[in-house]
Chains A and B, each alone.
Chain A
Amino acid sequence: MIDAKDRQIIEALQGGLPLVPAPFAHVAETLGLAESALLSRLAELKARGVIRRIAAAPNHYKLGMTSNGMTVWDVDDDQINELGTHIGALPFVTHCYERPRALPDWPYNLFAMVHGTDRAEVEEKRDQINAILGVTCRARDILYSTRILKKTGLRLKTKEQVKG
């Protein structure tokens, strides 16, 4: 859970950290806080897992990774821990999750995101995953992203939106 001060801090930072020298001092000033107070709050939020990390998110497309494939697999529930750990550790898999099936149309319970410079590269990686899963995998598919429709990250509602 977060308190009102944490919330103010998150609101001030959800758009990103300013690209100026001493960025935390700059943000602290807008919040009426001392820089040291802001830094210790942020350290605490990080320790609690509210902040996962402070980093840059690259645009895959601009880095030449123009093919983005969500590979999906139907594997035995009994074996998903072992298989998921194995697939998630592959260097080319950027995200790997177990998710519920939506039967009958969606039999897949293992999702692994794979990026490549083209679809042939993604499919070559998909084949490597397929070889690891072997006969325990009953069905598979690959969904390419064809357009980014929105990418803003988490946005806390402003008070007005909460009222509305």
Chain B
Amino acid sequence: MTLDRTDRAILNRMQDDLPLVSNLYGAIAQELGISESELLSRLTRLREDRVITRFGPFFDAAAMGGAFCLCAMAVPSEDFETVLTKVNAHPEVAHNYERTHRLNMWFVLATETANGIGDTAEAIQRETGIEVLQFPKLQEFFIGFRVAA
């Protein structure tokens, strides 16, 4: 799909924090100078085409008493799909990426309790026979996450 100027303006605006107001889409539409129904139909199309992967609140597991942790595994290529199925079967695996390194599977665990990270990592290790390295964040230097469309 091609994105026109309005789509790009919508994508840029929607990546910034949105207000907690009843008329959410109407308020954004007004800022962008389009009607609410046009905004909604464009957002629906952007989501169907997977230009927007998710829209809504972003939760911080740590603030709920839970935790996030980046983990990595060195998976032999011939076992990759089998290991992937086992890893992704855990609902605690929030994202997972294949990367160019001996450590070729990188995923984020998001759990409701702090202990959940160790328990899940251990379960994956047991199920796959592969060491799960844990890289919890010690410090975050930038929290914005925005791409110019």
Chain A interface residues toward B at CB < 8 A: 1-2, 10, 13-17, 19-25, 35, 39, 42-43, 45-46, 48-60, 62-63, 65, 68, 70, 80-81, 84-85, 87-89, 93-100, 102, 105-106, 111, 115, 141, 143-157, 161
Contact = CB atoms under 8 A, between A and B. Distances in A.
A98 B141 contact: yes
Nearest to B60: A52
Contacts of A141: 101
A10 to B, nearest CB: 6
B139 interface: yes
B100 A143 contact: yes
B55 A56 contact: yes
Contacts of B94: 150-155
Interface in B117-149: 133, 135-147, 149
A94 B147 contact: yes
Interface of B: 1, 3, 11, 14-18, 20-26, 36, 40, 43-44, 47, 49-61, 63-65, 70, 84, 88, 91, 93-103, 105-107, 110, 112, 133, 135-147, 149
Contacts of B106: 70, 143, 145
18 contacts: A23-B24, A24-B24, A54-B20, A55-B17, A55-B58, A56-B15, A65-B147, A70-B99, A87-B141, A96-B142, A98-B141, A99-B136, A99-B138, A141-B101, A146-B100, A147-B97, A148-B95, A154-B59
Contacts of B25: 19, 21, 23
Contacts of A56: 11, 14-15, 43, 52, 54-55
Contact of B59 (A25, A52, A85, A152): A52
Contacts of B58: 51-55, 57, 153
Nearest to B110: A154
For the complex of A and B, list the 4 residue pairs with the smallest distance between their C-beta atoms, beginning with the closest. A88-B141, A88-B142, A56-B14, A149-B96
A85 B52 CA distance: 29
Nearest to A154: B110
A1 B141 contact: no
Given A2-B65, A13-B57, A151-B96, 10 more contacts: A58-B53, A63-B147, A70-B106, A94-B145, A96-B141, A98-B138, A99-B138, A145-B98, A150-B93, A150-B95
Contact of A149 (B55, B84, B91, B142): B84
A54 B57 contact: yes
A97 B141 contact: yes
B105 A100 contact: no
Contact of B136 (A19, A57, A60, A100): A100
